[in-house]
Every structure is written in structure tokens, then in C-alpha cells.
Homo-oligomer: A and B are copies of this chain.
Amino acid sequence: MSQTVDRALSILPLLAEGPADLGQVADRLGVHKSTALRLLRTLHEHGLVYRQSDQRYRLGARLIALAQEAMENLDIREIAHPHLVKLNEQCGHTVHLAVYEEDEVLYIDKVESRYPVRMYSRIGKPVAITVAAVAKLLLADLPEPERRALADKLDYPVYTTRSTADAPAFLRELDKVREQGWATDLGGHEESINCVAAPIRGAEGRVVAAMSVSAPNVVVTADELLTLLPLVRRTADAISGEYSGRTSPKGTV
């Protein structure tokens, strides 16, 4: 809507790919160098862009700090965290918390596995939306037209032979997930990693977040992981209760 701002913001994802010099930025924006310079300067003043010693630009520190604040302000995260820790203490595996926002699912909290073999993931990283158990739960709860539109829009990368193949298969999977109230990812993202996930619901019953337990095959089999399902669902329900204001943390006050 605003050309100048639009151009300026387009620089950010561009720099996220790696450092770039003025000319490269100007070229990729399709504007004159002097224009790119002024935009970069403005971004720089706000700390979103940093100029490294070789004169090239890269994303700046304030961006990281801002994102940090953004996450810490998510109240679901605040409420869920102690529950995630407790669950991790009980089962020992990696625990994730994820939310959906504008066609993306992303992890907003994580408690690391206590086993030496760990799964790679990072808070803030967008989730493999077509296969992750938490993504299925979050998308399954979308209104039907929106869900269908999104499913059509998505790519379906073949991470493994068990990855979701296409939109129809995905929509079928979502229906199943919505009905049963929980989801799994059995080697759909990485051959040797399985996840079980459960939804966290707000006051009106809408799914506001999802949590999962993940573990590699070498630690527990898929069947063993599934035995944790009741525990995961209980934890998710406890968070739901607290988030929607029905119960207070650990019976406090």
C-alpha cells in the first residue's frame, strides 16, 4: 500500500539470505542505487540492518531483540512453558509449542530432550507445514474454506516416502486429525523421527496452539511414543484450562 515502506521491507528477507552490497540490493529491488541507499540508511537507523566491516549489509541485532520481545509477549507461551518443562521431566523427550499465523506454523517454545540424540529444530523456525503433527492440528481447526484454500496454495515437498503427497491427501489427514483430537507425524519429515501432538484450545474451543513430543527411532519406537499420547493430551488440556481462565495455575489463589 505504501511503495516506499514496501520497498524498504522487501530488503529484509533479501538480506536474510545472506549479506549483500548496495548494488545487489538496488538490483533486486529494481530501483536506483541512491534510492536503495536511503532505504538501507533508514533501516540502519532503526537497527534492523547492520553494516559489517566489508561494507556489506546484513540483518541487525535489534531485529533479533524485537523478535524476542514479540515472543515473550505471547501469553500462551508464558502459560504453557511450565507445563512443557514438567512434561519433559516426565518423558525426557523434546517438547514443542507451536502456533499458526497467516499461512505459517512456527515453534514458539521448546524444551530440549534429555537424551543425547536430539532432533534439530529452533524456536522461530517455520514448521514443515504439510507433515508436522502440530501443523496438522492447527490447520485442521481452520474454517473449511480457508483450510481448503490454504491446502491448495501449499507446496508438498517430499521429505521422505511418508510425507503428505498432495492437497487432497492433506485435507483427508486434517479431517481425521480434527475428528480424533490429536495428531502424529511418523517419519514424514525425517525418516527416523516421530511426533505425537495435542491441541491447546481457547475459551471458545478454537485451537490456539499445539504441542508435541518428538523422539528419534533410536531412542523409542513409534509405538512406544504413542503410549505417551494420554500424557500429552492431559498436559495440553491443563494448558487449555489455564489459558481459557477455567482453572488457575496449580490451584493458586
Find out whether the CB atom of A102 lies under 8 angstroms from the CB atom of B61.
Answer: yes
In the assembly, what is the distance between CA of A102 and CA of B126, in Å?
28
Nearest Cβ in chain B — how far from A224, in angstroms? 25
Find out whether the CB atom of A5 lies under 8 angstroms from the CB atom of B42.
Answer: yes
> Does A180 have its Cβ within 8 Å of any Cβ on chain B?
no
Copies in the assembly, this chain? 2
A window 1-55: CB within 8 A of B: 1-2, 4-6, 8-10, 12-13, 16-19, 38-39, 41-43, 45-48, 50
A16-B73, A67-B124, A125-B68 in contact; A62/B6 too (CB < 8 A)?
A: no
> Does A131 have its Cβ within 8 Å of any Cβ on chain B?
no
Find out whether the CB atom of B45 lies under 8 angstroms from the CB atom of A1.
Answer: yes
> Does A66 have its Cβ within 8 Å of any Cβ on chain B?
yes
In the assembly, what is the distance between CA of A166 and CA of B126, in Å?
43
- Cβ-neighbour of A8 out of B8, B12, B71, B101 (below 8 A): B8
